[in-house]
Structures are given as C-alpha cells and as structure tokens.
Amino acid sequence: MRFTYKIFIFLQLGVSVTCYTQTSNDNMTEAEVLFLNQPVSSKTHGNTVQYNCINTKLTGKCIKYHNDQWYTFTADGSSNLYVNISGQSCRDLRGVQLVVFSGELCSPDTYDLIDCISLATQDDIHVALRNLAKGRTYWLNVDGYLHDFCSYRLEVSHKPKGFSSQKTNLLDQFYAKENGNKLTIQWQLPDSLAHLASETQLLRRHSTEFKYVHIADNPFQINAFGHMEKSYSYTDEVFQPGTYHFRLALPLNSEELLLLDEIEWTAKASNLKRAYLDLDYENNDELEVVVSDASSSKQLDKFTLFYDPQKHSSFPIYVDRYLGEFKQLEVKIYNRDQEHTAYHYIDLSTLKSVKFR
C-alpha cells in the first residue's frame, strides 16, 4: 500500500558563523515533529542536501538547495493553519523561499508542485495552508538560500504572524508619482474590504536594509453617504539616495496581515542637497560617524563607514532633513583602527565644510 503525503518546503537564509555542525533533522527520516502553536528555534548551519529526496526539475530556478532541514506535523482538522517563520538572523539578504508540493516520502518522481515563492527580506512571514486533511502528516523543509546561513523560529499555528507570503490581488489601482525626493503612492480599494478591515499600512525598506519599517497607517474613510472611500494616497520623503521598496499591507480583522502590493523607487542623489567632507584614511579603516547639531550637540545621525579611498575621499553628507531647523552641523569621525578623532563643521546656509583635528 502506498501512502501519499503533502510536503511543504521552505527555504531561507543564514547567519555568519565560522564552525558548523549538522542538526539532527538534516535527514528527512529524522524530521523534527512540530506540535501546533508551539514554535521551535533552529539554524541551517552545517547541514547538507538530501538530494535523493528533492526534485530540482520541479522547483526549477526558484530554489538553490544548500543546507536543508526537515520537519513534520499533523493537521488537526482546522479549516486554516499557518506556517510562521520569524526572528530571522541572517548573514546575507537573500530572502525566504517557499516551495509547496505533494507526493510520497522521499520519492521525487511522485511530487506535484503546488507553489514556489521567493522573498527578499528577513521580515516575519506566514504561509496560509488551506483545506488540509485531518490526521494527515505533512512535511516542511527549511534551507539556506544561495549558500547563506540563518537562525530562525518556525511554528505551525492556528494564527498567522507577520506578512502573508504571497501578494493578494484585492486593489483596484496602485501606482506612484515622483517629485524630487518625494514619492506619492496612490491606491484604490474595493467596497468588499469595508467589513474585513479598518485600515491599510504602508511600509518602506531601503535596499541596504534587511527589514521593512512601518511608516504610516491609513484608516478607511467614510463619505457623506455612509460608504467607504475608495481612493487613498500617501506622500513619503526620503533623505538618502538609493533604491527604496514600499509595501502596502492590509491587517484583517481576523489578525491576518495581507500583502496587497509592492513598488520600487530609486531616489536620485541629484535631487538631494549635500555637503562634502574631505576624508583621508587607510583602506578599510573602520570609521564611526556621528552627525550632531553644532549648537546644542544633539545627535542627529550615527553610522559606521569602512573607508574606501576610491569611494569616500570626497564623502557626501545629505542635509535636506536638517535645513530650516539647524544652522551648523558637527560631524565627528572616530577612526577605530587608529584611535583618532576628527571634527568637520558644515554651514547649512552655504553647504561648505571645514575640518578640525
């Protein structure tokens, strides 16, 4: 008699550690049992791929196997279950990958692909599992994507946590207009959402950041006729050049957070005012940079810079956020390698800088 199982495979990132040992569930036959609503913590470090139990032709370019782990759980008859992945601590920003397929235990020829999803952040996500068969055993596989390493928490639960893993196509319109360093995002909601939720949320992530930041709540508005307004907009202003990713999310009354749509926008340096600092350090010196109001010494920004003479000898400080509020900035640069401190002062009326050692 042959038993058919549905197998859910999740692939994801990893953290940077120098020495690794395999986890006990590196092999499908030793999969860790997950109990509903009880999260477990693990990491992908040191594991290997059980190639006789995967089907690379089925997943195609969506998956790059590297260091997988296996889990198993039994459905309890609930109409919906959710796989929640949270607390990722990863070396690189590759994104969680999800593959869903059905088939027999370690028999790749019997697998039938249900879904394959690639993400690009370390945000908490959930995957909705619909219409599972009561009492049936299901499998999960977590993998470090593109040779990355990650620690994480994993849970099969009755409640979703974090973003939905797939975009839900509920919007009538979604678009954006650029104006210098500002982006106005506009969207239209259907009437059908009026009784499912009370607001949308807007989130933003710079391409160098690992997670999204919540920047605005957008409550549903009711017009004079007692109907929900359909059209909404939000204008965001950025103060650093680069590529930004925006997400519009819908928190349902059922506690599920749906991803409605996404948009990518590149803010040009030419649209931002800046002053330049003359820097001269050894290659790869670690510099701690602190920007303060020169008058009150109030700290305004802080970041670390690994000095590259090809890129940083004339280093820009973008000042749009400070204009109109401050007259002069103090930029303190501490060289951790040489244990030396230098000070630069920027006149915000002329954008000229002077240096004091």
146 and 27 fall within a common domain: yes
- Rounded to whole angstroms, the Cα distance separating 241 from 319 reads 12
Q: Which of 119, 144, 161 is the last residue of a domain?
A: 161
148 and 9 fall within a common domain: yes
| Max Cα-Cα span within the chain | 82
- Rounded to whole angstroms, the Cα distance separating 142 from 153 reads 11
281 and 181 fall within a common domain: no
130 and 19 fall within a common domain: yes
**Distances 336 to 57, 288, 299, 308, 312 between C-alpha atoms, Å:** 50, 7, 19, 15, 17
192 and 288 fall within a common domain: no
Three state DSSP letters for the chain: CCCCEEEEEEEECECCCCCCCCCHHHCHHHCEECCCCCCEEEECCCCCCCHHHCCHHHHHHHCCCCCCEEEEEECCCCCEEEEEEEEEEECCCCCCEEEEEEECCCCHHHCEEEEEEECCCCCCEEEEEECCCCCCEEEEEEEEHHHCEEEEEEEEECCCCCEEEEECCCCCEEEEEEECCEEEEEEECCHHHCCCECEEEEEEEECCCCCCEEEEEEECCECCCCCECCEEEEEEECCCCEEEEEEEEEEECCCCEEEEEEEEEEECHHHCCEEEEECCCCCCCEEEEEEEECCCCCEEEEEEEECCHHHHCEEEEECHHHCCCCCEEEEEEEECCCCEEEEEEEECCCCEEEEEC
**275 in Cβ contact with 323 (< 8 Å):** no
Residue with tokens 């599920």: 256
The radius of gyration of the chain's CA atoms, rounded to the nearest angstrom, is 25
18 and 114 fall within a common domain: yes
82 and 188 fall within a common domain: no
The total domain count for the chain is 3
Locate 315 and state its tokens: 């280093």
**Distances 168 to 16, 21, 27, 173, 250 between C-alpha atoms, Å:** 34, 39, 34, 13, 10
> What is residue 60's predicted lDDT score, i.e. its pLDDT?
76
Residue 306: which CATH number? 2.60.40
> What is residue 188's predicted lDDT score, i.e. its pLDDT?
96
- Rounded to whole angstroms, the Cα distance separating 322 from 329 reads 9
Interval 132-168: pLDDT, tens: 888 888 888 777 655 556 778 889 999 999 989 888 9
172 and 126 fall within a common domain: no
Range of the domain at 136: 5-161
**Distances 64 to 26, 55, 87, 104, 149 between C-alpha atoms, Å:** 16, 11, 22, 22, 13
> What is residue 2's predicted lDDT score, i.e. its pLDDT?
44
List, for the chain, all residue ranges whose pLDDT scores fall below the cut of 50. Answer: 1-19
Residue 53: which CATH number? 2.60.120.380
Residue 247: which CATH number? 2.60.40.730
102 and 60 fall within a common domain: yes
65 and 196 fall within a common domain: no
- Rounded to whole angstroms, the Cα distance separating 91 from 149 reads 6
* Cβ partners under 8 Å of residue 178, min gap 6: 265
Question: Could you report how far apart the first and last alpha carbons of the chain are, in Å?
Answer: 81
35 and 80 fall within a common domain: yes
Residues belonging to the chain? 357
- Global pTM reads 0.82
266 and 283 fall within a common domain: no
Q: Which of 137, 161, 185 is the last residue of a domain?
A: 161
Q: Which of 107, 126, 161 is the last residue of a domain?
A: 161
Interval 62-100: pLDDT, tens: 777 777 788 888 889 887 889 898 888 777 666 557 676
> What is residue 94's predicted lDDT score, i.e. its pLDDT?
62
> What is residue 17's predicted lDDT score, i.e. its pLDDT?
40
Locate 193 and state its tokens: 């959402």
Give the CA angle between residues 249, 251, 253 to the nearest 5°: 160
